[in-house]
Amino acid sequence: MSTTTRAQSTIEWPDDNSPERVRARRRRWLLEVGWKYLFALVIIFYAAFPILYTLSAALNPKGTLSAATGLFSAFSLDNFIALGQTRYWEWMGNTLVVASATAIGSVIMGAAAAYAFSRFRFAGRRTSLTGLLIIQMFPQALAFIAIFLMLLALGEVIPALGFNSKIAVICIYFGGVLGANTFLLYGFFNTVPISIDESAKIDGASHAQIFWRLIFPLVTPILAVVALLSFIATYSEFIIARIVLTSEEQWTLAVGMYGWVSDQLSANWGLFTAGAVIGAIPILVLTLVLQRYIVGGLTSGAVKG
């Protein structure tokens, strides 16, 4: 054996499983990756605790939040059964009608407006886009007086568009969601190649045919996103519905359930939380159904403005 070979054979290479190297790897993992898991656990806790607390209060027959300090200390379906003795399911039906009509209408109106802004060049186009951007910066709360006076005047001529009408609430919601939805749809429509329109025009297609048969199917992801956002926004809206809908049989869930806890002395939080748990199911189901469209619709609409 040569001298070099003997020298190499006597070298002691460091052991990868030595305590020093193990501690170094753990320290590096904690600094690079581990803190992310800790942060995620904190976020999950803050997100899941209100849900667990609400579910615990809904299953507690005492009907107070103070009795639910011990999570799931009692288990009873009395609060859910008691919902059948109220107008809860009638309010649920009203809410679904208003939210669904608003979602469908906002999709159609927003898509039509976005198609016009994206494909046509007309006088006042840029001014109109700027106007929509400025208007949506102001909340609908600033228009309460104008909405009140408008409904008073319309109700004398067309009662269906006056107070205590679900149609009136839907029309008001249309105005609130149209501006933001138009901008969201406008960005997505710009990502659709205009060559599709030009090819269809060569074949003799009209603008209506291009919109409904070609463009509309191609923008399905963003339409699903707009429908979901509009549904969620109107499903839980309270202020406008409380002002416009005056009779109990016309109330939505948000207005009706508020009456259960508005009086501090007679508040029934058990009934309220039970209604909130069931009321969250339609939004949860719709979100799961449209989940595959949400990410693609939001990200693709931001590619090209």
Residue 298 pLDDT: 53
Helix 220-235, helix 166-189: angle, nearest 10: 150
> Are 251 and 131 within one domain?
yes
What mean pLDDT do residues 295-302 have?
54
| Unique residue bearing structure tokens 């300090």 | 69
| Unique residue bearing structure tokens 């709360």 | 141
Cα 213 to Cα 227: distance, rounded to the nearest angstrom: 19
Cα 273 to Cα 279: distance, rounded to the nearest angstrom: 9
Answer whether residue 3 is part of any domain. no
> Are 37 and 160 within one domain?
no
Domain end residue (candidates: 80, 111, 132): 80
Q: Which residues contact 200 (CB under 8 A, 6 or more apart)?
A: 209, 210, 214
Per-residue H/E/C for the chain: CCHHHHHHHCCCCCCCCCHHHHHHHHHHHHHHHHHHHHHHHHHHHHHHHHHHHHHHHHCCCCCCCHHHCCCCCCCCCHHHHHHHHCCHHHHHHHHHHHHHHHHHHHHHHHHHHHHHHHHCCCCCHHHHHHHHHHHCCCCHHHHHHHHHHHHHHHHHHCHHHCCCCHHHHHHHHHHHHHHHHHHHHHHHHCCCCCHHHHHHHHCCCCHHHHHHHHHHHHCHHHHHHHHHHHHHHHHCCCHHHHHHCCCHHHCCHHHHHHHHHCCCCCCCHHHHHHHHHHHHHHHHHHHHHCHHHHHHHHHHCCCCC
> Are 50 and 162 within one domain?
no
Answer whether residue 2 is part of any domain. no
Q: What percent of the chain has pLDDT over 70?
A: 87
Cα 159 to Cα 156: distance, rounded to the nearest angstrom: 6
CB 242 within 8 A of CB 255: yes
> Are 92 and 228 within one domain?
yes
Cα 88 to Cα 272: distance, rounded to the nearest angstrom: 10
Give residue 304's pLDDT band: very low, low, confident or very high (50, 70, 90).
Answer: very low
> Are 186 and 292 within one domain?
yes
Residue 282 pLDDT: 92
Domain end residue (candidates: 63, 80, 97): 80
> Are 94 and 69 within one domain?
no
Residue 225: closest CA among 187, 181, 176: 181
CB 228 within 8 A of CB 295: no
Alpha-carbon dihedral of residues 277, 280, 281, 286, nearest 10 degrees?
A: -170
Give the range with max mean pLDDT: 93-107, 133-147, 192-206, 218-232: 93-107
Residue 297 pLDDT: 53
- Name the residue range of residue 46's domain: 14-80
Residue 181 identity (one-letter amino acid): N
Answer whether residue 70 is part of any domain. yes
pTM of the model: 0.77
pLDDT greater at residue 253 or residue 6: 253
> Are 75 and 99 within one domain?
no
Give the range with max mean pLDDT: 13-27, 142-156, 176-190: 142-156
> Are 93 and 55 within one domain?
no
Domain count, the chain: 2
- Give the other-Cβ count within 10 Å of 304's Cβ: 11
Structure tokens at 50: 């209100």
Answer whether residue 201 is part of any domain. yes
Q: Chain-wide mean pLDDT for the chain?
A: 81
Residue 275 identity (one-letter amino acid): G
Residue 98 pLDDT: 93
Over residues 216-259, the pLDDT tens digits come to 888 888 888 888 888 998 898 888 888 888 888 899 999 999 88
4 pLDDT exceeds 70?
no
Answer whether residue 9 is part of any domain. no
Q: How far is CA 83 from the centre of its chain?
A: 26
Give residue 92's pLDDT band: very low, low, confident or very high (50, 70, 90).
Answer: very high
188 pLDDT exceeds 80?
yes
